[in-house]
Structures are given as structure tokens and as C-alpha cells.
């Protein structure tokens, strides 16, 4: 009797094991079908999205940007830190040094720019731009987006000028930021079309913000808040911007597209 019971239990275990193998096999086949479906939608591009990214990583670009200290770093200091020769190109004029690169397979474009004034031996302005032009594909994030950071020493003519109120002052400062960005990029963009296009994206976004602030000046009071100001963007759907002024230094953080969701999580300004 005991032997019959043991044999029956062994048969039940064997049947359960076969059922589990069959079920797991079906699950594996289903996963293969889903993956094949994704490949059919996105082709080789989708495969590339699942591959590890190659350097330089965003953290490396950010660290390069932070290593330049306004009113302290000389042109020689910047030349040492700004460029990673293996991945980037260098473009420079008499007053601007730019390091830029592009990953065509992962749709990334970036630049680090440091600018000097004619009678100042140390850095006066610096910029970091990263553009992700990755198309919207199932399970692949982030999608199209832009992140832009800027620090600059403000001219005394902007700081000392009398304004009707604090909001008018904030708008005037942001307008000067746009003017400086445009001038500095124009200094080096003739050498590289990628810089020219990148500069157009920044100019378009900052002009959009200024149009919104000119229409509703009271919104400028929110510029320094952690959440910043949200605005619509014709190419990237939406954007956010924050501007902080401390003494004579203005710091701007702006994100467009899919990067907006990380706006308050990411450090700075």
C-alpha cells in the first residue's frame, strides 16, 4: 500500500514538472514574439537602444562643465579640461572655446562652451547643451529632449540699471542671457554647422520664454523657484526654465521635451 502511494506521488510530481516546463516554454515563446514585434517596429534602431551607451556619458560632460570656475579659470585651464580628444572636436575663436561631439547611433549631440571678455583673463560665461534626438520607440526612454545649462557674469550696465520692479529686472537679465548666448555661439558656429543648429534651438526656446514673460510679467517671479516656469515649445512640445541670480552671477537651467520630467530632480542651478 505504501509503495502504491509513493508511486502515485512520483507520477503527480512528474506530471507537475512537465506542465511547468510546458508553461515556461510558452512564456519564453511569448517573450520572443514580443521582442520580434518590437524589432519589426523599430528595426536596427531599436536594437541599438538596448545596447549600452558609449562615452562620454552625461556625467562626464557635466563634470567638465563644472570644472570651469567663472572669474577664476584661465584660457589655459579651460583648454586642459574642456576637451576629451577621443570623442570631441575643438572649435575656438579669440574669445570662445567650444568642445563638441555627436553620437550618430544614439542620436546625441552636445557641446561645452566657455567664453572670455577681451579685457578679462578669466572665464566669464560657460554653457553645456545636450540634445537627444532619439525617436519615440516602445520601451525606450528618454525620447527627444534637450538640456541646457548656463552660468555667466552679468555686466554692470544690466545690474545697475534702474527698473520699475523686480520682475522687469528679471526679464531684462534673461534677455541679456539670450544676447550673450547668441553672440558666443556665433563666434564659433561658422566652423561647425552642428553648433549653428544647436544655437538655433537655444535661441528659439529662450525667445519663446521671453514672449511669454512679456505677455505676463508677473510670471517672472517664478523664475527662481525650484519648479521654474513651464512653457510650450514648437519642436519639443514643452519646456521648463529656472534662473537664479546671486551677486553678479546668473545661472540658467532649461530642459525641453522628455527631459522636463527630470527638471526638479537634477542638480543645479
Distances (CA, A) of 29 to 18, 24, 138: 16, 9, 20
The three-class DSSP label of residue 87 is coil
pTM: 0.77
pLDDT, residue 28, reads: 41
Give the domain ranges of the chain. 1-51, 53-262
CB 88 within 8 A of CB 99: yes
Q: Label residue 39 by pLDDT band (50, 70, 90).
A: very low
* Alpha carbon 149 to its chain's center: 9
Task: Give the residues across from 237 on adjacent strands.
Answer: 233
What are the tens digits of pLDDT across the range 174-233? 999 999 999 999 999 886 788 888 899 999 999 999 999 999 999 999 999 999 999 998
Amino acid at each position: 500500500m505504501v509503495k502504491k502511494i509513493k508511486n502515485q506521488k512520483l507520477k503527480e510530481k512528474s506530471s507537475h514538472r512537465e506542465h511547468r516546463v510546458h508553461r515556461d516554454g510558452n512564456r519564453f515563446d511569448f517573450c520572443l514574439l514580443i521582442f520580434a514585434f518590437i524589432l519589426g517596429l523599430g528595426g536596427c534602431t531599436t536594437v541599438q537602444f538596448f545596447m549600452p551607451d558609449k562615452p562620454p556619458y552625461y556625467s562626464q560632460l557635466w563634470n567638465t562643465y563644472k570644472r570651469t570656475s567663472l572669474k577664476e579659470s584661465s584660457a589655459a585651464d579651460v583648454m586642459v579640461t574642456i576637451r576629451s580628444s577621443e570623442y570631441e572636436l575643438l572649435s575656438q575663436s579669440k574669445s570662445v572655446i567650444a568642445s563638441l561631439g555627436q553620437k550618430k547611433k544614439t542620436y546625441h549631440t552636445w557641446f561645452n562652451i566657455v567664453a572670455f571678455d577681451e579685457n578679462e583673463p578669466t572665464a566669464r560665461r560657460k554653457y553645456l547643451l545636450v540634445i537627444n534626438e532619439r525617436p519615440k520607440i516602445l520601451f525606450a526612454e528618454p525620447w527627444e529632449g534637450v538640456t541646457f545649462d548656463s552660468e555667466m557674469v552679468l555686466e554692470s550696465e544690466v545690474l545697475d540699471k534702474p527698473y520699475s520692479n523686480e520682475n522687469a529686472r528679471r526679464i531684462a537679465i534673461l534677455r541679456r542671457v539670450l544676447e550673450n548666448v547668441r553672440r558666443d555661439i556665433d563666434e564659433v558656429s561658422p566652423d561647425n554647422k552642428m553648433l549653428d543648429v544647436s544655437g538655433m534651438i537655444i535661441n528659439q526656446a529662450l525667445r519663446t520664454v521671453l514672449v511669454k514673460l512679456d505677455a505676463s510679467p508677473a510670471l517672472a517671479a517664478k523664475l527662481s523657484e525650484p519648479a521654474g516656469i513651464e512653457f510650450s515649445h514648437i519642436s519639443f512640445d514643452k519646456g521648463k526654465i529656472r534662473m537664479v541670480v546671486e551677486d553678479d552671477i546668473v545661472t540658467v537651467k532649461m530642459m525641453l521635451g522628455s527631459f522636463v520630467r527630470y527638471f526638479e530632480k537634477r542638480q543645479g542651478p
